[in-house]
Structure 1
């Protein structure tokens, strides 16, 4: 999200340019709109563009659900779908009453202290505020749903409800204020403390790394799935049950990302084309790099790694999508695609942390890479473009801050919930699958699900 968000209320114009103005003169029905100039303002163009982008980002939730469901086992598919519904069902409510104010309210550079439930917003500002709230709420849901993938197939549903509420209501909004507070209220400390502002245009760190590091904390506290590691600690593959479904999810996410990144302008202007181009180029490069690296390492071009490579490229370009050239976007995607393969292997085999969908690597690690990439490739201030170390130094601070905050608060949250109400289902329930044990029904009714542990 741009930290130089223009106050569109001060930039009214009398009519939209170009083809729209011509259409108003040629089509009699549309010409009536000339009597209502308030319909033809930059304000309304911004509202329309931001709303469309928010709808695209909301559709990404379906993509996350498909990816997580496809990469895990059939016996817990329904539980995964329920968690993704929960992220919106409960997450949007708590973000309305609490999270939005903490993230964008006035008060201090550390957290907002106003605008809870949009209270105090002037009537004249409400049309934009409704749209801006909706756009931000779907970002909050994205941060929460990343967590569910890292702790899939062994976590109590009731406990996850509380995790989602804490993430969307407190953890994500407070750190979001540090980098994006000036979009609506007071500037956050990462925006105002240093000689150059922290750069994270659409959320490589604010959204993705926060979600990824929370997933890391959750996976550590809840522990690996039964059968993931043998008695010697050697990792064993637990294949996902529906790779085509996961592939559909990746394509949905790629599609929705054109709302995530270009929509973060929150302004209908000429910059959105470059942002969309950079976004897609990085995704394409990420998929190719992951394909190549997995082919070299495993002897075959791995399907799940290639899909995660696309997502890695998308996450990596999210921070610098508006501030780099297309050639740089390709390089950023290539690094992200290679990095995600190596990171998944390292976390799985060396750290012995069970992350069923690669959430930590895709979102945490590649989100950090994308944030650092701003300091390297930004055309204004990037190290490779003659900008020196100032921007890169701020980016390093930002990466460290978001890791400490998200991983630290994640460890506290998961540990407290584990002690208070339990975090993990019983061994018997896990073996049966969470669909039966947690929800009393099956995602694939009528099919006998056999699982070899």
Structure 2
């Protein structure tokens, strides 16, 4: 490749990494707008610190688990002087891009455990999840580790297809979050002594909406730039992402009875679901997949909160876990040539890959957070939770001057 071609790919992947990095601000503000005012600072700090810890864990351990590459060589080699590293640091920007995916795991979990989780145990969980748990499954799907993909292709004609991570990223994050939330327990005052839910309204719908918008914009980097090279970039991925997003919005608007929280999360549900098959589905199929995801989120959130009594604050299990699993299955249906897709997928492989991702993530979540619960403890004390995570953990509120009464 010419220097200009390599440089173009470096810039392409770098822009994608920056867009997905910006999505972490979306995760933060979505949580800021949903939690109570006394927990807003904690939401902001968690997401930023989790990203920093994720980068370090993925650099030193996780990337090697997934792709067998370490960075313990000189800078000349890293920049493309041999040893399997691509020219002009292309391998390095790909690492940056994949780091933003890996860091989405604790960012997703953060929304479920909000308002009552201790800070340092979550930091420890982030290191374990991004350093070991996530990259092991990532490597199986995206690098062919352990031979699962080859076996699926030999048995069913196609490997498990998850282009941009409906299952690998969102499903894994969402099902780990379910385990964490169940081990953590509901917020105090969320349910009365008879088990009936007590409403806790969002603190700021504008902040919630800003978070959703940031995620939606960055998602086009998440999906399109997964191609990894300018030459492989596809407008089909972009339009499928768009159609799934609007499908999620419109169905959530109807099923959620015009609730603004459901509308803004409906967009995200559609985008979660389309990741897996965004490179092979027809835009009409993507619209349907996104619409179904919007309905799944609304009904799943209400069932989770009101029937199962699982206090998943931002609804990350239905949004990322269930909609992510739906996306994995949907790629095996709407990716078929008979339904206007490009083909090359097997529904059986999609079912197997999705179920393995769900089971692995839920099991790993119970192991990691179960160990932390028995060693460090997970919850703030009753007094700390009442005071709020901002003052209890960070010793400052979202509006310090107002707190001083000046």
TM-score normalised according to structure 1 size: 0.83
CA distance in structure 2 between the partners assigned to 1:188 and 1:55 by the alignment:
31
Secondary structure, aligned partner of 1:40 = helix
Partner in structure 2 of residue 279 of structure 1: 241
Q: State which of 95, 104, 111 in structure 1 corresponds to 2:58.
A: 95
Partners of 1:253 and 1:401 lie apart in 2 by: 27
Q: Does 1:159 align with 2:102?
A: no
Question: Deviation per CA, 1:281-331, whole angstroms, max 9, x where unpaired?
Answer: 111110110010011xxxxx1010111100000101111110111111111
Question: Residue 426 of structure 1 corresponds to which residue in structure 2?
Answer: 381
State the partner residue of 1:61: 24
Alignment of 1:75-86 (within 5 A): 75-86=38-49
Assess, with a 3 A threshold, how the Cα gap between structure 1 residues 404 and 273 changes in structure 2: closer, same or farther. Answer: same
Deviations 1:231-283 (A, max 9, x none): 11111221110110010110110000011000100011364222111111111
* Match of residue 145 from structure 1: 107
Q: What is residue 71 of structure 2 aligned with on the other side?
A: 117
Equivalenced residues, count? 392
The CA distance in 2 between the partners of 1:134 and 1:215, in whole Å, is: 24
Q: How does 1:198-237 map to 2 (within 5 A)?
A: 198-237=160-199
| Mapping for residues 120-131 of structure 1, pairs under 5 Å | 123-124=81-82, 125-126=85-86, 127-131=89-93
One of 284, 308, 324 as aligned partner of 2:281: 324
Q: Check if 1:303 corresponds to 2:266.
A: no
Q: Which has the higher contact order (CA 8 A, sep 6+)?
A: 2
| Residue 412 (structure 1) aligned to one of 330, 342, 367 | 367
2:176 is the counterpart of 1:176:
no
**2:401 is the alignment partner of 1:446:** yes
Asked if the contact 2:335/2:342 (under 8 Å) is kept, the reply is no
Contact 1:180–1:188 (CA under 8 A) maintained in structure 2: no
CA contact (8 A) 1:383 1:392 kept: no
Aligned equivalents of 1:81, 1:174: Cα separation in 2: 28
**What is the rounded CA distance, in whole Å, between the counterparts of 2:354 and 2:175 in structure 1?**
11
Matches of 2:302 and 2:236, distance apart in 1: 34
Q: Does residue 255 in structure 1 map to residue 227 in structure 2?
A: no
Structure 1 or 2, whichever has the larger Rg, is: 1
- Where structure 2 has 5 or more consecutive residues not aligned to the other structure, the ranges are none
Note the C-alpha offset of 1:117: 3.1
Q: Which residue of 1 aligns with 2:307?
A: 350
Q: Residue in 2 aligned with 1:367?
A: 324
Contact 2:280/2:343 (CA < 8 Å) preserved in 1?
Answer: no
Contact 2:216 2:268 survives alignment (8 Å)? yes
- Match for residue 338 of structure 1? 295
CA contact (8 A) 1:348 1:354 kept: yes
Alignment of 1:294 onto 2:249: no
CA contact (8 A) 1:96 1:118 kept: no
Q: Taking structure 2 as the reference length, what is the TM-score of the superposition?
A: 0.93
Indicate if the aligned counterparts of 1:291 and 1:305 stay in contact, CA closer than 8 A: yes
> Which among 41, 49, 52 is matched to residue 15 of structure 2?
52
Separation in structure 2 between the aligned mates of residue 118 and residue 401 of structure 1, nearest angstrom: 33
**8 A contact 1:70–1:244 mirrored in 2:** yes
C-alpha separation in 2, matches of 1:284 and 1:131: 31
Superposed CA RMSD in Å reads 1.9
Residues 371-390 of structure 1 aligned to structure 2 (within 5 Å): 371-380=328-337
Q: How far did residue 383 of structure 1 move?
A: 7.2
Q: Equivalents in 1 of 2:186, 2:272: separation in Å? A: 25
* Structure 1, unpaired ranges of 5+: 1-11, 13-37, 106-114, 296-300
8 A contact 1:325–1:379 mirrored in 2: no
Alignment check: 8 A CA contact 2:285 2:339 kept: no
